[in-house]
Amino acid sequence: MGGTKKKSMSKMEMNERTGQDQKPEKKSKGTKGKMDFEKKEKSTRMPNINNEKLISDLSKMGAITPYGVASQLNLRISLAKDLLEELEKKQLIKSVGGNARVRIYESPPAA
């Protein structure tokens, strides 16, 4: 049914002489337009909650989200969520919005 048309004798002879009978190699679909980058290894350990540098970094952020914490501290998002819940229990940050999947926190103003 489908397929390519049969080439005429003159076309086949022409391709034989020039060596153009081979099919061009196809590029894989998955790599089209994507840039190669190295994947950084995410930490699987919970950082120390009492660390002053951690608290100062969080206080500089306007809205504290799990994604923001994970990208800034090079953590997995699940660890960032756990970290934010622990900080909320210790009343170092407070929840201001979000939903069941993503919470939004803010650091209390320095007194």
pTM: 0.59
pLDDT of 62-80, one tens digit each?
Answer: 899 999 999 988 889 999 9
Percent of the chain with pLDDT over 70: 77
d(CA 32, CA 82): 37
- Domains located in the chain, CATH noted: 52-106 (1.10.10.10)
d(CA 53, CA 38): 27
Percent of the chain with pLDDT over 90: 26
Q: Is the pLDDT of residue 36 over 80?
A: no
